[in-house]
Amino acid sequence: MLGILNGNVYDPMNKINAQEQDIWIRQGRIVSPEAVDLERAKIIDATGLVVMPGGVDIHSHIVGAKVNAGRKFRPEDHRHNVRERTDLTRSGSGYTVPTTYLLGYRYAEMGYTTVMEAATAPLVARHTHEELEDTPILDKGVFITMGNNHFIMKCIRDGKLEQARDYVAWLLGASKGYAIKIVNPGGVENWKWGRNVTELDDEVIGFGINPREIVTTLAWINEELNLPHVPHVHGINLGRSFSARTTMETIAGLEGRAAHFCHLQFFSYGKQKGKLHRSAAAELARAVNENSNVTVDVGQIIFGEATTMTSDGPLQHRLHRETGNKWLNEDIENETGGGIVPVLFKRNNPINSVMWRTGLELFLLIDDPWQVFLTTDHPNGGPFFCYPHVIKLLMDRDFRAQAFERIHRRGRKNALLPELAREYSLYEIAIITRAGPARALGLKNKGHLGLGADADITIYANLEDKEEMFARPKFVIKDGVVVARDGRIVCERPGRTLYVAPPYDPKIEEEIRAHFQESYTISFNNYAISPDHLAFGEMVPCE
């Protein structure tokens, strides 16, 4: 039992804004004081300290086949970034692609307690779950990529949407996934023919359908299955000068159905004279402001090393050709693809400067913090432990202005950013880093401090320098246990893997079996992950 007394509590889900409140914890949950034996409870005196729910990261590439290929591929990333073992903790290495134990520790030390693995192909989901078991402390979930899935595309082609729905339900249970992920719908399949898509109505080779149909079908399925999260969309044309146009078309194409657009910054470019893209953040922000059914995370870039890794096969090949950097590609039978290319984002590079600016403009122009969440699309935009730096850029306009002056002059040309004087408040930061993502994910017991919530709590010193404040919380509590103090782990314990298993008509399994016979190289009987294979799995109901 634990009591956190006299803290300045920020709990936006329950509309608590800097109120001095006590928080009582028993058996890993937040409870009323009557439920606690006050004599035996340990007390943390939080006088003058800021108390928030534990951070929730809605999109990060942390574990699994793609991430581990990134680790193996980049020993240069690890050599100068090492963590020694202690009696309590394992050793580790890595900067943009840290090893699993180190990643768990660093997220926890930063005050984050729930992280979503952004993209896993179902065929290799077992690998993802095995790495998650070696990722301590955090609660996690896995997004399952479906936007180039052959079974689903065949159903769309044949007009068999209920079959597609039952297949998706089966697939989520089989892969122990949390949500539907869509990456470059149709484009990744076309890459297996050496091509891509650039318009929502382009043909997916071999299927006679288009990206628009893939998105709308999966959005419909998401609603039918009552999944806790909405379809999580990495759209077409990432990085292209027409990305803003097609992204807004994709939003419009939803016709009011809910969806989450990830790392929106990478899709917020327009054309201008010359070769440099312009920031189209204003147009995208307007589209988000006008469509309350849409949430986004920004994917802010951080100057420095990054490792791009996505399921977007053709994008990654293009990045390899443009940068000349080494390239991994992985085509995954019947399901998806992907690639990895290291990059270096530089302040004195005009393109990178525009990208940096675009992300910040999105944050400052989207009105409702409940629709915009803080990510760097780790490690594509930059490492997750740079979130405190982004927080400072959002809360301190002078700091932001100084940073703006240091980017390339062509990146500063015609820029909207200097005119945007908005500064995020602590309350709004609490929304974009915990309450908002938790709500968008449908995690009823996370991202808030109301009765019954999981006791995942972060306590900060109220420092002037917001980067320092958010980088080193004074206390981090997970399930009512203090796991970190002053930025260091004091207790290692396992976290949970959250998954969904919506019901489906078992007749679909006959169709799926036939599909496996025809086109897979693993037996249907060996594909699904059984619940007992997850050491700390927890099913989240679909209601």
Partner 1 sequence: MKTIVENVTCTFCGCLCDDIIVEVEDSRIVRVRRVCANGRGIFVDYDPTPRRPTIAGREVDWHEAIVEAAMILDRADSPLIYGLSSTAVEAQRKAVELADRLGAVIDTTSSVCHGPTGLAMQAVGEPSCTLGEVRNRADLLLFWGCNPAASHLRHFRRYSIMSKGTLTPKGRRDRTVFVIDVRPTASAKVADHFLQLKPDSDFEVLTSLRAIIKGEKIEVEKVGGVPTATLRDLAERMKNCRYGVVFMGMGLTMSRARDHNVRELFNLVCELNQFARFSVMPMRGHGNVAGADQVLTWQSGYPFAVSFARGYPQYGPGEFSAVDMLARREADAALILASDPVAHFPGAASEQLKQIPTIILDPMTNLTTQGAQVVFPTACYGVDATGTSYRMDNVAIRLRPVLPTGRPTDEDVLNQVIEAVKQC
Residues of the shown chain interacting with partner 1 in the complex, contacts defined by CB under 8 A: 63, 65, 68-69, 71-75, 77-79, 82-85, 90-94, 97-101, 123-124, 126-127, 130-131, 134, 191-194, 317, 320-321, 326-334, 340, 518-523, 525-526, 529-530, 533
- All residues at 6 or more sequence positions from 476 whose CB lies less than 8 Å from its CB, including other chains: 54, 108, 109, 111, 113, 457, 458, 459, 482, 483, 484, 485
C-alpha–C-alpha distance, residues 270 and 407, integer Å? 19
Q: Which is nearer to partner 1, 99 or 265 (CB)?
A: 99
Of 207 and 261, the one with the shorter C-beta distance to partner 1 is 207
Rounded-to-integer distance, Cα 282 and Cα 270, Å: 11
Q: Is 107 helix (H, G, I), strand (E, B) or coil?
A: helix
Q: How far is the CB of 179 from partner 1 (least distance, A)?
A: 21
Q: Is the Cβ of residue 38 or residue 82 nearer to partner 1 in the bound state? A: 82
Measured from the CB atom, the residue of 337 and 502 that comes closer to partner 1 is 337
Taking the least distance from each CB to partner 1, the nearer of 74 and 448 is 74
Nearer to partner 1, 334 or 371 (CB): 334
- Closest distance between partner 1 and the C-beta of residue 130, in Å? 6
Q: Which of 337, 338, 355, 358 is nearest to 347 (CA)?
A: 355
Minimum Å gap between C-beta 260 and partner 1 is 27
Taking the complex as a whole, the smallest distance from the CB of residue 320 to partner 1 amounts, in Å, to 7
Secondary element (H or E) of residue 307 = strand 304-310
CB 421, min distance to partner 1, A: 43
CB 139, min distance to partner 1, A: 19
Task: Kindly state the smallest distance separating residue 526's Cβ from partner 1, in Å.
Answer: 5
Find out whether 403 and 392 touch, Cβ atoms under 8 Å.
no
Q: Closest by alpha carbon to 269, among 256, 258, 284?
A: 284
Instruction: Give least dist CB 521 to partner 1, A.
Output: 4
Strands 497-499 and 537-539: parallel
Within 13 Å, how many C-alpha atoms sit on residue 409's CB side? 0
Task: Kindly tell me which of 94 and 185 has the beta carbon lying closer to partner 1.
Answer: 94
CB of 342 to partner 1, least distance (A): 10
CA distance 219 to 414: 37
**Token match 């989207």: residue?**
366
CB-nearer residue toward partner 1: 92 or 388: 92
Residue 523 contacts by C-beta under 8 Å, 6 or more apart in sequence?
516
- Min separation Cβ 456 and partner 1, Å: 24
- Burial of residue 88 (CB within 10 Å: 0-12, 13-18, 19+) is exposed
Shorter beta-carbon distance to partner 1: residue 108 or 174 = 174
DSSP states along 462-515: --SSHHHHHHS-SEEEETTEEEEETTEES------EEE------TTHHHHHHHH
Nearer to partner 1, 41 or 205 (CB): 205
Q: How far apart are CA 150 and CA 336, in angstroms?
A: 9
Opening angle at CA 358, ends 353 and 364, nearest 5: 130
